Structure 1
Amino acid sequence: MLDAFSAGRPTLSLSEIARRAELPLSTVHRLLTELNAWGAVERGEDGLFRIGLRLWEFGSLAPRGQGLRERALPFLEDLSQITKENVQLAVREGAEVVFIERIAGSGAVPVLTRVGGRFALTATGVGLVLLAHAPAEVQDEVLGGPIERYPRRTVTDPADLRRMLADVRANGFAVSDRQVTMDALSVAAPIDDGRGRVVAAVSLVVHHGGTQPHALAPLVRTSARAISRALHPPI
């Protein structure tokens, strides 16, 4: 039932939830009453349901997102201040990217991502970094299934994507050039746990045609290394 809500449909009627959840109307009504009493959903004066603040409170306790975000935030803010561009922090959840922080720079290019939102691993800079360092079985699953296309430049050929992932591992950063929107380019770098395991990725998203990706890569990689050290400072 909760999965019926999305960024595109943050408010739903009782019948819409029942239809999306493929559950009987009476069952949905009973469960929504309980969820509303607990605070997981809220019902507005318009009669529509929306996700409640109680879920946000519990979501903020997730250790992987909370601890990482708190330690990374000073470096994300520094990167944003230096560049005046969009800065993003993301982790991999299964075969998707989950964004746990985003700072919008003044005059920065609009992006489709949002905090708490999910995205395909194959299109964004952070997604390419996380996929490049994911276990082989995850790569096989992602590249063996349907690959979502956004604008016409989105790379969907598995062989081309494998070459891109190899470049990410060799170069230490990823470039996603107009693979999500035709006016944006992102440069991303891996954040590790101090034992060689990539646990997150940080990226800059800029206007296409502005700064060259290889000029941004040192900034992003420096921020990624700083966050890695903050996660596991030397004893």
Structure 2
Amino acid sequence: MVRPDSQDTASSLTRGLSLLDLFTVREPELSIRELARRSGLPKSTAHRLVGDLLAWGALERTPRGVRLGVHLFELGSLVPAHRRLREIAIPYAHNLNEVTQLTSNIAVRDGSDIMYVEKITSRSLNVPHSRVGGRLPMHCTALGKAMLAYSEPEFVDRLLGGELRALSSRTITSPQVIRAELAKIRETKVAYDVEESQPGLFCVAAPVFGPFDEVVGAISVTGATSLTQAQRFAPVVRTTAMALSRVLQSHSTLRADSVARSA
């Protein structure tokens, strides 16, 4: 039997953690008043929860309010599967960056989104795009489609049966068109995003497989050019993903179910 005080503690923990979700890249700092307004919590409750988060290190004070604390970064670096994949894949991402002179990315699946776990930036790419820890919908990114093509059929059906949000005028929102594209990706092991996630950008990605031939992530290059130019980078991206997969397949401790959290 759960005691009432245990329920209150769980409720406070949930509400406190929900405050952390209110911070974004564009708004990394928020006042307690703004946190209370956006969360719908009384200001006194928000103030108390922020105090607890400050004491624990999840938040830190700024001249204008609070921001996410370094303790969250420390914990994030301990996530074993993501950390292991990132550690092994970083040299491959650096090599892609050097060979192509484009921005290279490593991502994993997180629910119906991709999450970037590494990014090697190219000086020639001036258009803001991915960031480590950032998320984008799977259906409109090359990285996401590369993983989606090898995901469980039940997951694919659920994702394509839901809302397919358009991030640009070129985002594909037709389930039938996406399914046809996924079938082609399974043939070529290469996925493309041509201005689907952001105007002016292309991305070429390839899936990365783990020790049981399960998809555990994807690797890509991003640039500002046309599809014809983008296709020139497909062989090197695919070859890099295959080489990375061979290394990962020798590490039997890396499991797909710990890399990708199903929705």
Q: Map of 1:66-81 to 2, 5 A cutoff?
A: 66-81=83-98
Contact in 2 for aligned 1:109/1:205 (Cα 8 Å): no
Query: Corresponding residue for 2:26?
Result: 8
Q: Aligned partners of 1:7 and 1:96: how far apart in 2?
A: 17
Tell me the secondary structure at the aligned position of residue 208 of structure 2.
strand
Q: 1:39 to 1:171 in 2, by over 3 A?
A: same
Contact in 2 for aligned 1:102/1:115 (Cα 8 Å): yes
Give 1:33 deviation, angstroms.
Answer: 0.6
Contact in 2 for aligned 1:155/1:179 (Cα 8 Å): yes
Q: 1:234 to 1:93 in 2, by over 3 A?
A: closer
Tell me the secondary structure at the aligned position of residue 240 of structure 2.
helix
Q: Map of 1:86-165 to 2, 5 A cutoff?
A: 86-165=103-182
Matched, 1:40 2:19: no
Q: Aligned partners of 2:48 and 2:198: how far apart in 1?
A: 42
Query: Corresponding residue for 2:8?
Result: none
Give 1:72 deviation, angstroms.
Answer: 0.5
Counterpart code for 1:33? G
Q: Aligned partners of 1:6 and 1:84: how far apart in 2?
A: 29
Farther off after superposition, 95-104 or 225-234 = 225-234
| Counterpart among 71, 75, 79 of residue 58 in structure 1 | 75
Contact in 2 for aligned 1:75/1:223 (Cα 8 Å): yes
Extract unaligned runs of 5+ from structure 2: 1-18, 253-263
Contact in 2 for aligned 1:109/1:184 (Cα 8 Å): no
Query: Corresponding residue for 2:5?
Result: none
Q: Aligned partners of 1:210 and 1:165: how far apart in 2?
A: 17
Tell me the secondary structure at the aligned position of residue 78 of structure 2.
coil
Percent identity over paired residues: 38
Give 1:210 deviation, angstroms.
Answer: 7.6
Contact in 1 for aligned 2:105/2:116 (Cα 8 Å): yes
Contact in 1 for aligned 2:103/2:122 (Cα 8 Å): yes
Q: Aligned partners of 2:116 and 2:194: how far apart in 1?
A: 19
Give the TM-score normalised by the residue count of structure 1. 0.94
Q: How many residues align?
A: 234
Tell me the secondary structure at the aligned position of residue 139 of structure 2.
coil
Q: Aligned partners of 2:159 and 2:217: how far apart in 1?
A: 18
- Find runs of 4+ consecutive structure 1 residues off by over 4 angstroms: none
Give the TM-score normalised by the residue count of structure 2. 0.85
Query: Corresponding residue for 2:100?
Result: 83
Give 1:212 deviation, angstroms.
Answer: 2.4
